[in-house]
């Protein structure tokens, strides 16, 4: 049960972090982005991410 709660909290933090990063890149306030809308975008993009090579994902590049 505790692990499940931690999982939900980690997922929520990940989405909020993505929202903040996207807002910063566009010069917007993060408050202008909706959590539910962001979830929809993430869900649609999951299959694309799964089919991508690590080199194609700039978010995961280091250096």
- pLDDT at residue 8, rounded to an integer: 94
Q: What is the pTM of this model?
A: 0.70
Phi, psi of 20 (to 5 degrees): -65, -45
Q: How many CB atoms neighbour CB 19 within 10 A?
A: 22
pLDDT band at 62 (very low <50, low <70, confident <90, very high): low
| Model confidence at 7: pLDDT above 90 | yes
- pLDDT tens for 10-60 read 999 999 999 999 999 999 999 999 999 999 998 988 888 788 887 777 665
């Amino acid at each position: 049960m505790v692990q499940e709660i931690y999982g939900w909290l980690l997922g929520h933090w990940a989405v909020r972090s993505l929202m903040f990063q996207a807002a910063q890149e566009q010069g917007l306030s993060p408050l202008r982005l909706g959590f539910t809308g962001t979830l929809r975008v993430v869900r649609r993009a999951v299959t694309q991410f799964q089919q991508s090579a690590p080199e194609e994902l700039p978010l995961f590049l280091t250096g």
